[in-house]
């Protein structure tokens, strides 16, 4: 099927890993919804290193429908990298992300689109109010995660990590996600200056085929990434400033002690400055201080010349 895509209303981004059974159903469902609402659209399937036949399925689907585009990673780089590549490729005015496993419903797309275009939201995050996942490995940890993220970031959402989200185009073109960052994209969007962040209760369904790719250990990675992003946020993208500041403090303390000892020796001839134990402290502090300062300085140089953090490789594009 071929359509005029000079203006694309919606880009749907689907990160996927080993979801061969779900894809045909998902693509047909999306087409049904889009056609019913007369949206022009494109689908970007990002195959994040599947080892089943997902890519063959995608090739078949794309051959029948030129609204379907696809990117295949050379190996598994994670959901964030997959989303990031989708963000770069998307051309629609509104960008929708959804999981490939049919847990998110394409029926939500029209209302999400309306909230961006008419209500003026920059980002609308889905809220799986009634959730069909394992209580102990997913639902409870997820609640805890949300609570902490909300407290730390000030972005008040019930379900930060919902795979179903809608974005105004300029949001996805202004942010970059890597590591486990897909868990708190609303926070990243807020830091990029997008204030209008909303949420919509969405239908959630039990996984129909295949198995979940996210277990408890990935929550832990998520927390670590959150900690590092908060840290980066605090030090204005220059964590190295912390080393510089600490180094300066140490150096000044050491220098102060040495100055005091020298002053006492020269003007009052109290004692030989090297006889005093704190002399060694002064030397130690000055050494630690200058080392820390230089570490910060080098870090700063590296950071300024660092390439983009996303270093995934693309095997093939349709």
Determine which residue in the list 19, 42, 108, 159 makes contact with ligand UDP, applying CB under 6 A: 19
| Stretch in the footprint of ligand UDP (CB under 6 A) among 16-24, 115-123, 173-181, 289-297 | 16-24
Per CB under 6 A, 15 contacts ligand UDP: yes
Residue 69 three-state SS: strand
Sheet with 10-16, strands from edge to edge, namely 197-201, 123-127, 165-168, 94-97, 10-16, 41-47, 68-73, 314-317
x/- track of binding to Mg ion for residues 56-95 (CB under 5 A): ----------------------------------------
Kind of pairing, strands 41-47 and 68-73?
parallel
Per CB under 6 A, 76 contacts ligand UDP: yes
| Footprint of ligand UDP on 146-175 (CB under 6 A) | 163
What does the angle CA 221 – CA 22 – CA 5 come to, to the nearest 5 degrees? 95
Instruction: Establish how many alpha carbons lie within 13 A of residue 69's alpha carbon, considering only the half-sphere containing its beta carbon.
Output: 16
Instruction: Establish how many alpha carbons lie within 13 A of residue 171's alpha carbon, considering only the half-sphere containing its beta carbon.
Output: 28
| Stretch in the footprint of Mg ion (CB under 5 A) among 66-74, 101-109, 289-297, 303-311 | 101-109
Per CB under 6 A, 78 contacts ligand UDP: yes
| Footprint of Mg ion on 12-41 (CB under 5 A) | none
Per CB under 5 A, 161 contacts Mg ion: no
**Residue 140 token pair:** 């409870």
Instruction: Report the C-alpha gap between 69 and 227 in whole angstroms.
Output: 35
Per CB under 5 A, 50 contacts Mg ion: no
Question: Which residue's CB is nearer to Mg ion, number 57 or number 164?
Answer: 164
Determine which residue in the list 48, 101, 122, 199 makes contact with Mg ion, applying CB under 5 A: 101
DSSP-derived letter for residue 279 is H
Task: Identify the residue whose tokens are 């659209």.
Answer: 41
| Stretch in the footprint of ligand UDP (CB under 6 A) among 61-69, 74-82, 108-116, 193-201 | 74-82
Per CB under 6 A, 82 contacts ligand UDP: yes
At closest approach, how far in Å is the CB of 318 from ligand UDP? 17
Instruction: Report the C-alpha gap between 240 and 257 in whole angstroms.
Output: 26
CA torsion 16-190-87-217 (nearest 10°) is -20
Per CB under 6 A, 20 contacts ligand UDP: no
Per CB under 6 A, 30 contacts ligand UDP: no
What does the binding site for ligand UDP look like in residue numbers (CB under 6 A)?
15-17, 19, 48, 76, 78-79, 82, 99-101, 103, 163, 212-214
């Amino acid at each position: 099927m071929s359509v005029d895509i000079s203006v694309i209303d919606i880009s749907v981004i689907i990160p996927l890993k080993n979801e061969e059974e779900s894809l045909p159903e998902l693509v047909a469902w999306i087409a049904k919804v889009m056609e019913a609402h007369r949206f022009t659209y494109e689908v970007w399937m990002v195959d994040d290193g599947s080892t089943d036949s997902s890519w063959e399925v995608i090739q078949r689907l794309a051959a029948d429908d030129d609204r379907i585009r696809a990117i295949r990673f050379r190996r598994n780089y994670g959901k964030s990298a997959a989303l990031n590549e989708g963000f770069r490729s998307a051309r629609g005015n509104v960008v929708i992300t959804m999981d490939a496993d049919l847990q998110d419903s394409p029926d939500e797309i029209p209302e999400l689109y309306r909230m961006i275009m008419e209500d003026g939201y920059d980002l609308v995050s889905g809220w799986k109010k009634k959730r069909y996942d394992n209580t102990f490995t997913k639902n409870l940890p997820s609640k805890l995660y949300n609570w902490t993220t909300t407290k730390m970031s000030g972005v008040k959402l019930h379900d930060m990590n919902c795979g179903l989200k809608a974005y105004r185009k300029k949001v996805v073109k202004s942010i970059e996600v890597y590591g486990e960052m897909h868990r708190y994209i609303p926070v990243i969007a807020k830091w990029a200056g997008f204030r209008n962040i909303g949420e919509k209760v969405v239908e959630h369904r039990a996984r129909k085929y295949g198995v979940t790719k996210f277990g408890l250990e990935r929550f832990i990675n998520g927390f670590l990434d959150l900690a590092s992003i908060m840290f980066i946020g605090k030090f204005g993208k220059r964590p190295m400033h912390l080393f510089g500041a600490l180094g300066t403090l140490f150096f000044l303390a050491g220098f102060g002690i040495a100055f005091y000892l020298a002053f006492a020796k020269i003007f009052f001839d109290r004692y030989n400055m090297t006889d005093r134990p704190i002399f060694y402290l002064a030397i130690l502090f000055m050494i630690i201080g200058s080392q820390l300062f230089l570490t910060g300085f080098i870090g700063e140089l590296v950071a300024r010349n660092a390439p983009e953090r996303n270093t995934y490789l693309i095997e093939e594009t349709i």
